[in-house]
Amino acid sequence: MGEVILQMKDIDKSFPGVHALDHVSLEVRRGEVHALMGENGAGKSTLMKVLTGIYKKDSGTITYKGKDTEFHNTREAQDNGVVIVHQELNMVGDLTVAQNIFIGREPRKGFRIDDKKMIEDSKVLFDRLHIDIDPTEKMSELTVGKQQMCEIAKAISHNAELIIFDEPSAALTEKEIEDLFVIIRDLRAQDLGIIYISHRMDEIKVITDRVTVMRDGGYVGTLVTADCTKEDIINMMVGRVIYEKPKEKSHVPDDAPVVLKVEHLNAGKMVQDVSFELRKGEILGFSGLMGAGRTETARAIFGADAKQSGDIYVNGEKVEINSPEDAVKRGIGYLSEDRRRFGIVVGKSIIENSTMATLEDYMSGLFINKKKEKEITEQYIKELDTKTPSSDQLVVNLSGGNQQKVVIAKWLVRNSDILIFDEPTRGIDVGAKNEIYKLMNKLASEGKSIIMISSEMTEILRMSDRIVVMCEGKKTGEVKIEEATQELIMDKATRQMEA
């Protein structure tokens, strides 16, 4: 590692009612991948927003390339080589790759945009990153992985010297993550400073040199990655030890009634002849590789996507579910893998989100009974231990784990007996994950039935009573938790491909 490129010292930042950063320090060197870790709400994003000029610090010092610095906006930060690659990609699908990379700063020939130079400059960037992407291709036609590579190219185009990767692998396949790591290692070799924010503990050991941990807005410490264990980092993050032991046996009685039965479900090429049963009080895990058809199966059951054929039974009764409204009336709730698009309205309050699926229950004539709404919302804030100053807080101001709790509250207020959890812990930290796991187990023990779709093998083995495995739109196996191993599940998850 080279000289120090960034030194943030004793950074303090408060918002009304919240002390977001409490004397936080961070040092990043050239030629280093430096992990920034902490639970949701620990202050990582706030610290990066202070660095890049989105927020103004209350006190403390920022030294960048040896000089005291304070950026006033992200453009100023970019012009000085400090760039963020965001988790949510900021690309325009209808524009070409080259147009996206140079949007707002297109090379010009007189009064006209110089498309030829823009394409040539894009090719130079891709050559530097060893990426094979056509700059004239539409952004919407690329995979998520390639879109991520374009975001990195865009960052490099600002002559970046310090790049912040914010959860860069959250939506990538294993192969795409490997490609991402090749690029990050190459950037490190070019002496860039890299801040890597991730909740995936295994990645931290693979790609980073040092780890700085934050907790509750404060600085906990910095470790050399090679000299610490996963457990050391988790303990610093949450202040307690979290055990991730696989479930050894099912907690569902053999004679538990079947609450949901799906027979020969077909919905496009991603859902082909899928059949399974879900029992009362059961957590049924759905496992498989990216593109296996798990989410598509859930959406077809929930009526979000049209099914072509097949039968669905709820509590022994054959039902027609042609829309989410039909599913909700039958007691089915769906927590989408993309909670920001399909689960919550971030610009609305916790109260408004919690009662969204049951608003008719809180109407008095033409008016909403605000008192009744507030009471039920605060009941579930307490029950789910949602961290918020008040029930009137806008959801956008909550951490990812607490946003997830608001989505769960929405379906509990609705009193849904069948809950579909699609990637329930995606993008949330290890401490919040543990809280979601406890909550799911509590719901199951109270008689709720849960379908849990997850790409994390440890999560599937820890939570499931039984596991359905899919591959390329088909169910390729069903495994009791007592017999489940990573090897057995992976074998079934790749079986269709090899056939």
* Within a domain: 79: yes
The answer for residues whose C-beta is within 8 angstroms of residue 197's C-beta and 6 or more apart is 35, 36, 37, 44, 45, 48, 164, 165, 166, 167
One domain, residues 218 and 357: no
Determine the pLDDT at residue 51: 96
Instruction: Tell which residue, 127, 178, 182, has the closest CA to residue 157.
Output: 127
Is the pTM of the predicted complex or chain greater than 0.85?
A: no
Helix (H/G/I), strand (E/B), else coil: 250: coil
Helix (H/G/I), strand (E/B), else coil: 455: coil
One domain, residues 103 and 149: yes
What is the distance between the alpha carbons of residues 235 and 219, in angstroms, rounded to a whole number? 14
One domain, residues 122 and 268: no
Helix (H/G/I), strand (E/B), else coil: 371: helix
* Residues of the domain holding 406: 258-498
Over its length of 499 residues, how does the chain's per-residue pLDDT go in tens digits? 789 999 999 999 998 777 889 999 999 999 999 999 987 678 888 999 999 999 999 999 999 999 999 999 988 999 999 998 876 567 788 899 999 889 888 889 888 998 999 999 999 888 887 778 899 999 888 877 788 788 888 888 888 899 999 888 766 667 778 888 988 998 899 999 999 998 777 789 899 999 999 988 999 999 999 999 888 887 888 776 555 678 889 989 989 999 999 999 999 889 999 999 999 999 999 998 767 899 999 999 999 999 999 999 999 999 999 999 999 999 999 988 776 677 788 889 999 999 988 888 888 888 888 999 999 999 989 888 888 989 999 998 887 778 888 988 888 888 889 999 998 887 676 777 888 898 899 999 999 999 999 988 888 999 999 999 998 899 999 999 999 988 889 888 876 443 3
One domain, residues 291 and 417: yes
What is the distance between the alpha carbons of residues 201 and 198, in angstroms, rounded to a whole number? 8
**C-beta of residue 337 within 8 angstroms of C-beta of residue 353:** no
One domain, residues 438 and 392: yes
**C-beta of residue 311 within 8 angstroms of C-beta of residue 263:** yes
* Within a domain: 251: no
- Please provide residue 56's backbone torsions phi and psi, each rounded to the nearest 5 degrees: -95, 125
Per the structure, the count of domains in the chain is 2
One domain, residues 298 and 442: yes
What is the distance between the alpha carbons of residues 319 and 264, in angstroms, rounded to a whole number? 14
* Within a domain: 35: yes
One domain, residues 316 and 188: no
Query: Final residue of a domain: which of 205, 238, 271?
Result: 238
* Within a domain: 48: yes
Q: Up-side HSE of residue 341: CA atoms within 13 Å toward CB?
A: 4
Q: Up-side HSE of residue 363: CA atoms within 13 Å toward CB?
A: 7
274-279 vs 258-266, strand pairing mode: antiparallel
One domain, residues 201 and 298: no
The answer for residues whose C-beta is within 8 angstroms of residue 227's C-beta and 6 or more apart is none
Question: What is the signed CA dihedral for 90, 94, 99, 102, rounded to 10 degrees?
Answer: -20
Instruction: Tell which residue, 352, 305, 339, 311, has the closest CA to residue 324.
Output: 305
Determine the pLDDT at residue 430: 74
Instruction: Tell which residue, 171, 330, 154, 345, has the closest CA to residue 259.
Output: 330
* Within a domain: 365: yes
59-64 vs 67-68, strand pairing mode: antiparallel
The answer for residues whose C-beta is within 8 angstroms of residue 186's C-beta and 6 or more apart is 129, 130
* Within a domain: 373: yes
One domain, residues 189 and 269: no
Please say whether the dihedral angle defined by the alpha carbons of residues 149, 152, 153 and 154, taken in this order, is positive or negative: positive
Residues constituting the chain: 499
> Which CATH number fits the domain that encloses residue 90?
3.40.50.300
User: What angle is formed at CA 488 by the lines to CA 484 and CA 493, rounded to 5 degrees?
Assistant: 115
Task: Work out the end-to-end distance of the chain between its first and last CA atoms, rounded to an integer number of angstroms.
Answer: 48
Determine the pLDDT at residue 87: 63
Determine the pLDDT at residue 497: 44
Burial classification of residue 458, based on how many CB atoms lie within 10 Å of its CB (0-12 exposed, 13-18 middle, 19 or more buried): middle
Determine the pLDDT at residue 240: 62
What is the distance between the alpha carbons of residues 438 and 242, in angstroms, rounded to a whole number? 12
One domain, residues 343 and 402: yes
What is the distance between the alpha carbons of residues 22 and 132, in angstroms, rounded to a whole number? 44
What is the distance between the alpha carbons of residues 105 and 150, in angstroms, rounded to a whole number? 16
Instruction: Tell which residue, 191, 199, 226, 201, has the closest CA to residue 28.
Output: 191
Determine the pLDDT at residue 499: 38
* Within a domain: 248: no
Determine the pLDDT at residue 241: 59
* Within a domain: 243: no
Tokens, residue 355: 């009662």
- DSSP H or E stretch at residue 145: helix 144-156
Determine the pLDDT at residue 498: 39
Helix (H/G/I), strand (E/B), else coil: 251: coil
What is the distance between the alpha carbons of residues 444 and 251, in angstroms, rounded to a whole number? 9
Query: Final residue of a domain: which of 238, 269, 289?
Result: 238
Determine the pLDDT at residue 141: 85
Cα distances from 36 to residues 137, 182, 221, 266, 317, in angstroms, run: 34, 20, 10, 44, 51
- DSSP H or E stretch at residue 421: strand 418-422
**C-beta of residue 20 within 8 angstroms of C-beta of residue 214:** no
Instruction: Tell which residue, 338, 341, 298, 331, has the closest CA to residue 451.
Output: 298
What is the distance between the alpha carbons of residues 479 and 218, in angstroms, rounded to a whole number? 44
Determine the pLDDT at residue 243: 58
**Which 8-state DSSP code applies to residue 429?**
-
One domain, residues 31 and 162: yes
Determine the pLDDT at residue 425: 83
One domain, residues 230 and 262: no
Helix (H/G/I), strand (E/B), else coil: 187: helix
Determine the pLDDT at residue 421: 92
